[in-house]
């Protein structure tokens, strides 16, 4: 009752591990499995640095027990870029997800601590609403705090990512 063998599918890979009841998902991911994309900021559910997707929904992995996620599919920021093509600086940039590339191009980050969480929240938001207003982008990032950049470039990045994703969508339509 105090230790649990759980299975998580992380970025498509099946991972088995033993956790305590009290182990938080973010610690299982970082310390148990080595996915250090989700960061620990406030530890109280407010900053969003630990945001991952669980079964398709953006969640704060510091406010979830690992055992609650047993059997679930987790996507971390490591799962956003395509794995191949990372042989050099140019290829690495190509491998980035359009949202990651937009943060890079719009200077939507400084230290980058909040960025994995921002990217994961933005990904869910853009999936539901591919053409959000700036106001809607701001409202949807309410649970993600950035201590460095301020939010203007973050909003620019999400808006620019929305444009690229819509273009991608229309160019692949009918394939």
Partner 1 sequence: MFPPQFGYRRAGSVAEAVDLLAEFSDRDARVLAGGHGLLPDLKAGREAPDVLVDVGGVDDLRYVEAEGGATAVGALTTYADVDENERLWSRATAFAEAVSHVGDVQIRNRGTVGGNLAQADPSADPPAAALVSEATLVARGPDGRRDIDAADFFEGDGGTTLRDGELLTEVRIPAVDDGSEGSGATAGGAYHKETHPASGYALVGVAAAVVVEDGDVTDARVAVNGVTDPPRRLAPVEAALDGAPADAESVEAAADRATEDIDPGAAVSDAYASGAYRVEVLPVHVRRSLETALDRATGAAATPTRPPHRPAADDGGDRR
Ligand X SMILES: Cc1cc2nc3c(=O)[nH]c(=O)nc-3n(C[C@H](O)[C@H](O)[C@H](O)COP(=O)(O)OP(=O)(O)OC[C@H]3O[C@@H](n4cnc5c(N)ncnc54)[C@H](O)[C@@H]3O)c2cc1C
Whole-number Å distance between alpha carbons of 80 and 118? 12
173 near partner 1, rule: CB under 8 A: no
Whole-number Å distance between alpha carbons of 78 and 10? 10
To ligand X, the closest distance from the beta carbon of 70 in angstroms equals: 16
To ligand X, the closest distance from the beta carbon of 69 in angstroms equals: 14
Of these, 39, 75, 121, 160, which contacts partner 1 (CB under 8 A)? 121
Residue closest to 154 by CA, chosen among 113, 104, 97, 96? 104
* Token reading at 145: 């705090």
Picked from partner 1, ligand FES, ligand X, none, the partner binding residue 4 (CB below 5 to 8 A depending on kind) is: partner 1
45 near ligand X, rule: CB under 6 A: yes
Answer yes or no: are the C-beta atoms of 74 and 8 closer than 8 Å: yes
To ligand X, the closest distance from the beta carbon of 25 in angstroms equals: 14
48 near partner 1, rule: CB under 8 A: yes
Picked from ligand X, partner 1, ligand FES, none, the partner binding residue 133 (CB below 5 to 8 A depending on kind) is: partner 1
Report the chain's C-alpha Rg in angstroms.
16
């Amino acid at each position: 009752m105090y230790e649990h063998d759980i299975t998580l599918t992380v970025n498509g890979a099946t991972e088995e591990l033993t956790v305590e009841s009290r182990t938080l998902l973010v610690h299982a991911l970082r310390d148990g499995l080595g996915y250090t994309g989700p960061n620990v900021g406030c530890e109280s559910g407010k900053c969003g640095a630990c945001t991952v997707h669980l079964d398709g929904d953006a969640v704060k992995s510091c406010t979830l027990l690992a055992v609650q996620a047993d059997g679930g599919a987790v996507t971390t920021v490591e799962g956003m870029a395509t794995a191949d093509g990372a042989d050099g600086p140019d290829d690495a940039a190509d491998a980035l997800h359009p949202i990651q590339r937009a943060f890079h191009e719009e200077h939507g980050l400084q230290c980058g601590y909040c960025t994995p969480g921002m990217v994961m929240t933005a990904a869910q938001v853009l999936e539901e609403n591919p053409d959000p207003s700036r106001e809607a982008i701001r409202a949807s990032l309410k649970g993600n705090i950035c201590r460095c950049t301020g939010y203007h470039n973050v909003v620019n990045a999400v808006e620019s990512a929305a444009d690229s994703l819509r273009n991608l969508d229309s160019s692949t339509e009918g394939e």
